[in-house]
């Protein structure tokens, strides 16, 4: 290769690569290292403890319960958002394909708007609607004579997490809709015509013709939902606080990590070493799931 090209390559890559190395790659590697130390974040790293932070998180009576509860909540969040995005997201995308293009474009814009609204706004808006007794939703439920549903949703151990998952789905539906539309555009119309000629009902066509063809996209959505559900933090922190109340009913890896590293409001930080070990465990879960899903997706695409 000519010398000149090498200079060009170096100059053009340098700014992005430097930024990325210093603020993403280096912190990532540091987290791996910190996780092997007992360290409160001040002073030099010197108390090397090997994998003790990990065994403490996974097996100790003091911490394991909190960890597994958080993982369970993340999984719960994932399952719920998967159900919501599959039914509502795919349903809306399917309907959007059947109407006139101009109308469809406008609706796609509208459906995407909540995705750009800051989470802090979404969180307080819905918190206000959910205010016990006076909020719009309790008022509405009372008007419908559904008094038994007049619950302090965000203050209920049973309801808080599913309600926050629904709010998150409300805010995040725009992207899955667009991804499903991109996939549905790719379904050849001859295939649909053929199904129609064969006398297949619309339901039948959808489940036996369309659905198998968009399976790879479905797996993409699953991956996005999984990464999203394991990264969930903003809404829970804003609506339920550092302690992820009521009584830790909404505690997820994100909030547990925050308390462990930074403490706050009645919790003392337990150390940066322990917190990074927690982050590493979360990272391993996300990586393993993504790897499996990407492999499944490759296979599904190859089958088409």
Partner 1 sequence: MQTKRPVISYVLLALYALIVLLPLLDLVSMSFKDLPGIISHPFSIPTSIQWSNYADAWSEGNIGTFLVNTAIVAVVSVVIIVVCSSMAAYVIARFEFRGNQLIYLTFLAGLALPIQMIAVPLFVLMKQLHMLDSLLSVILVYSASGLSFSVFLLVNFIRSVPKDLEEAALLDGASHFQTFYRVILPLVRPALSTVALLNFVSAWNGFFFPLILLSDPNQMTVAVGVLSFVGQYATQWNLLLPALVMVMLPTVIVFIFASRQFIRNMTEGAIKL
What CA–CA distance (Å, rounded) separates 237 from 196?
50
230's tokens: 């394991």
Closest CA to 180 of 212, 229, 221: 221
Q: How many residues does the chain have?
A: 304
Closest CA to 278 of 230, 234, 243, 241: 230
Q: Supply the minimum distance, in Å, between the C-beta of residue 134 and partner 1.
A: 5
Q: Distance between alpha carbon 197 and the CA centroid of its chain, in Å?
A: 41
- Exactly one of 46, 50, 134, 203 binds partner 1 (CB under 8 A); that residue is 134
- Exactly one of 51, 79, 125, 304 binds partner 1 (CB under 8 A); that residue is 125
- Per CB under 8 A, does 209 bind partner 1? no
Q: Is 154 helix (H, G, I), strand (E, B) or coil?
A: helix
Residues 55-84 that bind partner 1 (CB under 8 A): none
- Per CB under 8 A, does 191 bind partner 1? no
- Per CB under 8 A, does 207 bind partner 1? no
- Exactly one of 26, 48, 68, 72 binds partner 1 (CB under 8 A); that residue is 26
Give me the sign of the Cα torsion angle 261, 58, 38, 286.
negative
- Per CB under 8 A, does 218 bind partner 1? no
Q: Using CB under 8 A, which of the segments 62-70, 119-127, 144-152, 155-163 binds partner 1? A: 119-127
Residue 20 phi, psi (nearest 5)? -70, -40
Q: Are 273 and 38 in contact (CB under 8 A)?
A: yes
Q: Are 107 and 96 in contact (CB under 8 A)?
A: yes
Residues 89-108 that bind partner 1 (CB under 8 A): 91-92, 95-100, 103, 105, 107-108
Measured from the CB atom, the residue of 117 and 158 that comes closer to partner 1 is 117
Closest CA to 63 of 259, 245, 246, 249: 259
- Exactly one of 37, 56, 77, 111 binds partner 1 (CB under 8 A); that residue is 111
Residues 245-304 that bind partner 1 (CB under 8 A): 253-254, 257, 261-262, 272, 275-276, 278-280, 282-283, 286-287, 290
Measured from the CB atom, the residue of 28 and 207 that comes closer to partner 1 is 28
What binding mask, one character per residue, do residues 35-54 give for partner 1 by CB under 8 A, x or -? ------x-------------
């Amino acid at each position: 290769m000519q010398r000149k090209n090498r200079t060009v390559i170096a100059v053009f890559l340098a700014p992005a690569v430097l930024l990325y190395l210093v603020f993403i790659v280096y912190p990532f590697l540091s987290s791996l290292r910190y996780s092997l130390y007992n360290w409160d974040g001040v002073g030099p790293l010197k108390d090397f403890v090997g994998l003790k932070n990990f065994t403490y998180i996974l097996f100790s009576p003091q911490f394991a319960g909190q960890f597994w509860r958080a993982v369970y909540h993340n999984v719960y969040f994932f399952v719920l958002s998967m159900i919501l995005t599959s039914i509502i997201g795919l349903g809306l995308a399917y309907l959007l394909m059947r109407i006139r293009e101009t109308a469809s474009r406008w609706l796609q814009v509208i459906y995407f708007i909540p995705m750009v609204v800051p989470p802090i706004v979404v969180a307080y808006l819905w918190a206000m609607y959910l205010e016990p007794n006076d909020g719009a939703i309790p008022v509405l439920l009372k008007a419908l004579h559904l008094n038994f549903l007049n619950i302090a949703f965000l203050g209920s151990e049973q309801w808080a997490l599913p309600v926050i998952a629904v709010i998150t789905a409300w805010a995040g539906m725009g992207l899955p809709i667009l991804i499903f539309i991109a996939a549905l555009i790719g379904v050849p119309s001859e295939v649909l015509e053929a199904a129609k000629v064969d006398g297949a009902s619309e339901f039948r066509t959808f489940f036996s013709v369309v659905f198998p063809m968009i399976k790879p996209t479905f797996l993409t959505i699953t991956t996005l939902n999984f990464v999203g559900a394991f990264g969930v933090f903003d809404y829970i922190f804003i609506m339920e606080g550092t302690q992820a109340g009521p009584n830790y009913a909404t505690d997820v890896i994100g909030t547990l990590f925050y308390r462990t590293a930074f403490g706050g409001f009645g919790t003392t930080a337990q150390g940066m070493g322990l917190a990074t070990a927690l982050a590493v465990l979360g990272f391993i879960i996300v990586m393993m799931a993504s790897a499996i899903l990407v492999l499944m997706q490759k296979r599904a695409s190859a089958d088409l």
